[in-house]
A and B are shown apart, each in its own frame.
Chain A
Amino acid sequence: MTTAIDVRNLTRRFGSFTAVESISFDVRQGEVFGFLGANGAGKTTAIKMLIGLLAPTSGQARVAGFDVSTNADDVRRHIGYMSQRFSLYEDLTVRENITLYGGIYGLTDSEIRDRGDALIGTLQLGRSSDERVESLPLGWKQKLAFSVAMLHEPAVVFLDEPTGGVDPITRRQFWEMIYTVAERGTTVFVTTHYLDEAEYCDRISIMVDGRIAAMGAPAEVKQRFGAATLDEVFLGLVRPAGVQTPQSA
């Protein structure tokens, strides 16, 4: 299987408002795909359809080989998800969070132990593994949340603005982690507000008003729009219709 995400004419309407209008794209296995767009462009709605939180009005989407409308359970088992809000339990320890998510994804006890050890080792959290997550600095928390989302070795991982609010050094480390999992064959679908981060992606798409206005490798996109930076491309696309809609995240 080489296509990890396959989206065809995916549409979602809320009453008379069309949040996502017939978008189509595909993402190859092991690719780092940046999903950009202003607030209210339909990004969040599109992601929610891909991870099975929202039913499409029409169109099709296959994630990790499963149709999101008809095989949502299979999709859930094969994806990882990290939302823009911190997604671990602050009153549980690092270990307990690992045990919880490992259990939810049906890992065996020995898998949970081994992968947990490896994860704690990689993040150098050894000394804090029995401390509550609330005591960790934000950067560590985000890295931990990402590692926990990868615990069941999903085929595709969805990261919704994973680096919001963290310092530049941690952002850098975070992207190194993203590359590591992509090299191992995991497809990374990431939304971000930082356009410098978009440069790190293999390919990007820019959503404007529910449609995909530009797609391709960052260099390709810049060339096509005759722009020096992705900032210019983004502002050029978004400015004419940069109106907030009720769907803003």
Chain B
Amino acid sequence: MADRRSALHAFIVKEMRHILRDRQTLTILLLLPLAMVVLFGYALRNDITDVRLVVIDPTPDYATIALRNRFAGNPRFEIVATSQTPDLVEPLFRRGDADLALAFPPRFAESLSQGVPTRLLLVGDASDPNTGSTMAAYATAVITSYQAEIGATGQAVRIVPQLRMRFNPTLESVNLFVPGLIALVLTLITALMTSISLSREKERGTLEILLVSPLHPWQIILGKVMPYLLLALGNVATALLAAWAVFHVPFRGSLVLLLSASVLYSMVGLSLGVLIAALAPSQRAAMLGALAGTMLPNALLSGMIFPIASLPAWLRMMTYVVPARWFIVIARGIMLKGVGLTYLWKELAVLTVMLVVLLIAAVRSFKPRFA
């Protein structure tokens, strides 16, 4: 048994050397989670900052000033112009120098104190409809909170129906992306890198030598997979740190549970990588297979970017076999809601079943395919 252990040890050392020696790939792999979190965090968010606001206030009084200060103090808004007449608005909109206009009625404070329903007009640049409605929602939120504070009853300020955002009260979409990004990075390291590295050995003929050696197939698989598992866990840490440092993404649950789930999910990816390498006739085919078979579904069918509920029924069915779909639920649950095993055991069970099935398939396909 001592021999076996040292054989596996020698194999893992070799695998680490391959990884450490390929500086370019290693640099990419180490910086990837950082770059992805930052890029996705800024580029893929559907929330908007720096809404440029024009205020039309025909008769400034204490109430309009108070509300205007609310907007001025809100980091999402930047008041670019204040005017007593609406003439200013149109040219600013046309030039693209303003996104939203807030128009007070005359004698705003007076109406409020009389309890008369008071209309506030919000005009948004809706050339991008999503952006427009999001901005309106932000503004509504500011007005509503002001209304609540002055204790005006019901009708004082007439507003569109309000939305309640739980778990993400500030509507930070980056919070939703980070768990998906972790899944994406893990898939990349595990499925893609393992299948490339294994099919490279197959292509060069070194795998044949390994199979003729006393190493067992499971030792070869384990030796291949272990270093990438370590790399993957390092990447989870980097992604979490970047998310916390740059975007202040909260972490409400158990780190141990998230890391354990990451190990489980990585092992699913690694088995998938081994299976892909076993089936692919060449390194290039393995790479394409891993990209099409894991990365694409991970990005598109996992709920990472597009909500699963908005997919057509047949695509929704397909998401059930995408491991990332389950992992993202787990990661979001732990990070954003702070829930534990009681709520997440079902998703963890699904991933475990996937792992067992893929592992059996991988070990089985290994020997006959590679020989």
Interface membership of A53, Cβ < 8 A: yes
CB contacts (< 8 Å) of A17 on chain B: these are: none
A91-B18, A104-B10, A106-B7 given; name 12 further pairs at CB < 8 Å.
Answer: A48-B371, A52-B212, A54-B371, A84-B205, A85-B204, A86-B204, A87-B206, A91-B17, A92-B17, A100-B14, A104-B7, A105-B214
Binding site for A on B (CB under 8 A): 3-4, 6-7, 9-11, 13-14, 17-18, 21-22, 204-206, 208-215, 371
* B209 adjacent to A81 (CB under 8 Å): yes
Give the residue among A48, A73, A81, A106 with the most B Cβ atoms within 10 A. A106
* B3 adjacent to A106 (CB under 8 Å): yes
Interchain residue pairs with CB less than 8 A apart (18): A53-B208, A53-B371, A73-B214, A76-B212, A85-B205, A87-B205, A89-B14, A91-B22, A92-B14, A96-B14, A103-B10, A103-B11, A103-B13, A104-B10, A104-B11, A105-B213, A106-B3, A106-B4
Interface membership of A32, Cβ < 8 A: no
Q: Chain A, 54-89, contact with B by CB distance < 8 Å: what is the 0/1 string?
A: 100000000000000000010011010101111111
CA–CA, A77 and B4, complex, Å? 11
If A54-B371, A85-B204, A92-B14 touch, whether A103 touches B9 (CB-CB below 8 Å) is yes
Q: Is the interface of B mostly helix, strand, loop or mixed?
A: helix
* A87 adjacent to B208 (CB under 8 Å): yes
Interface membership of A102, Cβ < 8 A: yes
* B7 adjacent to A103 (CB under 8 Å): yes
Interface membership of A219, Cβ < 8 A: no
CA–CA, A92 and B328, complex, Å? 38
* B212 adjacent to A100 (CB under 8 Å): no
CB contacts (< 8 Å) of B18 on chain A: these are: 89, 91-92
CA–CA, A51 and B6, complex, Å? 23
What interface size band does chain A fall in? 20 to 34
CB A232 to nearest CB in B, in angstroms, measures 33
- A89 touches which one: B9, B206, B214 (CB < 8 A)? B206
CB contacts (< 8 Å) of A87 on chain B: these are: 205-206, 208-209
Residue in B closest to A100 when the chains form the complex, CB atoms: B14
* B214 adjacent to A83 (CB under 8 Å): no
CA–CA, A96 and B13, complex, Å? 9
CB contacts (< 8 Å) of A11 on chain B: these are: none
Residue in B closest to A79 when the chains form the complex, CB atoms: B212
Nearest 5 A-B pairs (CB), nearest first?
A103-B10, A85-B205, A106-B3, A53-B371, A81-B212
Give the residue among A83, A92, A104 with the most B Cβ atoms within 10 A. A104
CB contacts (< 8 Å) of A100 on chain B: these are: 10-11, 13-14
Q: Which of A83-126 contact B (CB under 8 A)?
A: 83-89, 91-92, 96, 99-106
Residue in B closest to A82 when the chains form the complex, CB atoms: B209
CA–CA, A81 and B214, complex, Å? 12
CB contacts (< 8 Å) of B214 on chain A: these are: 73, 76-77, 104-106
CB contacts (< 8 Å) of B211 on chain A: these are: 53
CA–CA, A104 and B211, complex, Å? 11
CB contacts (< 8 Å) of B212 on chain A: these are: 51-53, 76, 79, 81
CA–CA, A96 and B213, complex, Å? 17
CB B1 to nearest CB in A, in angstroms, measures 11
CB B217 to nearest CB in A, in angstroms, measures 12
CA–CA, A48 and B211, complex, Å? 11
CB contacts (< 8 Å) of A79 on chain B: these are: 212
Residue in B closest to A106 when the chains form the complex, CB atoms: B3
* A106 adjacent to B6 (CB under 8 Å): yes
CA–CA, A91 and B371, complex, Å? 23
CB A50 to nearest CB in B, in angstroms, measures 10
CB B303 to nearest CB in A, in angstroms, measures 39
Residue in A closest to B219 when the chains form the complex, CB atoms: A104
CB B227 to nearest CB in A, in angstroms, measures 14
CB B181 to nearest CB in A, in angstroms, measures 30
CB B218 to nearest CB in A, in angstroms, measures 13
CB A227 to nearest CB in B, in angstroms, measures 35
CB contacts (< 8 Å) of A99 on chain B: these are: 10, 13
CA–CA, A85 and B209, complex, Å? 10
Give the residue among B3, B11, B212 with the most A Cβ atoms within 10 A. B212
CA–CA, A216 and B7, complex, Å? 39
Residue in A closest to B208 when the chains form the complex, CB atoms: A83
CB A53 to nearest CB in B, in angstroms, measures 4
CB contacts (< 8 Å) of A83 on chain B: these are: 205, 208-209
CA–CA, A51 and B214, complex, Å? 11
Residue in B closest to A108 when the chains form the complex, CB atoms: B6
CB A36 to nearest CB in B, in angstroms, measures 21
CA–CA, A88 and B18, complex, Å? 13
Residue in A closest to B6 when the chains form the complex, CB atoms: A103
CA–CA, A84 and B205, complex, Å? 9
CA–CA, A183 and B176, complex, Å? 70
CB contacts (< 8 Å) of B204 on chain A: these are: 85-86
Residue in B closest to A160 when the chains form the complex, CB atoms: B208
CB contacts (< 8 Å) of B206 on chain A: these are: 87-89
CB A134 to nearest CB in B, in angstroms, measures 11
CA–CA, A77 and B212, complex, Å? 9
CA–CA, A83 and B370, complex, Å? 14
